[in-house]
Amino acid sequence: MSLDKITLVRLKDAGIKQDEKWLVQGVSLEVNRGKIITLIGPNGSGKSTTAKIALGIYKNYEGTVEKFTNKIGYVPQKISIDWTLPLRVADFMVLTENLSADEIEEALSLTGVNHLVNKNLGNLSGGEFQRVLLARAISKKPDLLVLDEPVQGVDFTGEIALYELIKKISEKLNCGILLISHDLHMVMSATDHVVCLNGHVCCSGSPIDVAKDKEYKALFGDQASQTLSIYEHKHDHEHTDDGKIKQKN
Contacting positions for other proteins (CB under 8 A)? 52, 55-57, 70, 72-74, 76, 79-82, 84-88, 91-92, 95-97, 120, 140, 146
C-alpha 5/C-alpha 131 separation (Å) is 30
Q: How far is the CB of 153 from other proteins (least distance, A)?
A: 17
193 SS3 class: strand
Q: How far is the CB of 136 from other proteins (least distance, A)?
A: 9
DSSP state of 78: S
120 vs 189, beta carbon nearer other proteins: 120
Among residues 135, 227, 239, the alpha carbon closest in space to that of 188 is found at 227
C-alpha 74/C-alpha 137 separation (Å) is 6
Q: How far is the CB of 8 from other proteins (least distance, A)?
A: 13
Q: How far is the CB of 98 from other proteins (least distance, A)?
A: 8
123 vs 174, beta carbon nearer other proteins: 123
80 vs 247, beta carbon nearer other proteins: 80
87 vs 224, beta carbon nearer other proteins: 87
Q: What is the dihedral of CA 95, 97, 99, 104, to 10 degrees?
A: -50
Positive/negative CA dihedral, 148, 178, 213, 25: negative
93 vs 228, beta carbon nearer other proteins: 93
C-alpha 249/C-alpha 247 separation (Å) is 6
Q: How far is the CB of 124 from other proteins (least distance, A)?
A: 14
Whether 116 and 128 have beta carbons less than 8 Å apart is answered as yes
C-alpha 50/C-alpha 27 separation (Å) is 8
Q: How far is the CB of 91 from other proteins (least distance, A)?
A: 6
Whether 196 and 203 have beta carbons less than 8 Å apart is answered as yes
Q: How far is the CB of 1 from other proteins (least distance, A)?
A: 29
74 vs 163, beta carbon nearer other proteins: 74
C-alpha 145/C-alpha 229 separation (Å) is 27
Longest dimension (CA), the chain: 55
22 vs 58, beta carbon nearer other proteins: 58
| Measured CA angle at 190 (ends 188, 196), to 5 deg | 40
